[in-house]
Amino acid sequence: MTNYFIVPGLGNSGPQHWQTFFESTGNNFRRIQQQEWDAPACKDWIATIDDALSGYDPATVVLIGHSLGCSTIAHWAATYKRKIKAALLVAPSDVENPAYTFPATGFTPIPLQKIDFKTIVVASEDDQWVTLERAKFFANNWGSELINIGKAGHINAASGHWQWQQGLDILKMLD
């Protein structure tokens, strides 16, 4: 059985977010709970991921990241060098863009080495936190398949992505 671990971005994912919907679809979905959601430190977030995965067979683990959660997964992969089953990286925020002024520490530079497990980056053509060109750049460097879902904003609750069936279908591509 696959064990899905949800890795939210800044502020966590609220009740109307697709990550919360995914979590409600089965008991093999778990949300990784960070200590600090609003002013995170990358080293703390990646340590929390690693702690959450201990005791699980890495071959059964799929990480599901959104926004800052995507670069967190890239940092975790680069730091801990663990080989898991796969990761779904949705709307990876470009924390190197000057417009990204949130109090997040240690997330730059974004790791650009190949991630050593299967990954899919899902991007939008009109995401205010990452251009499609940057999402393609990340996907190319990480060795990820890129799926462009068109004009979908930041692929979150604000852009209408709650019961995001297309996301669940994409997730199945990692099994």
Contact of 151 with 126, CB cutoff 8 Å: yes
CATH code, 3-172 = 3.40.50.1820
pLDDT digit string, tens, across residues 6-40: 999 999 999 999 999 999 998 899 999 999 999 99
Give the DSSP per-residue string, 71-89. HHHHHHHHHH----SEEEE
- Amino acid 27: pLDDT: 83
pTM of the model: 0.97
What does the domain layout of the chain look like in residue ranges?
A: 3-172
Q: Find the angle CA(166)-CA(168)-CA(21) to the nearest 5 degrees.
A: 105
Tens of pLDDT, residues 113-164: 999 999 999 999 999 999 999 999 999 999 999 999 999 999 999 998 989 9
Match 């979908």 to its residue by tokens.
152
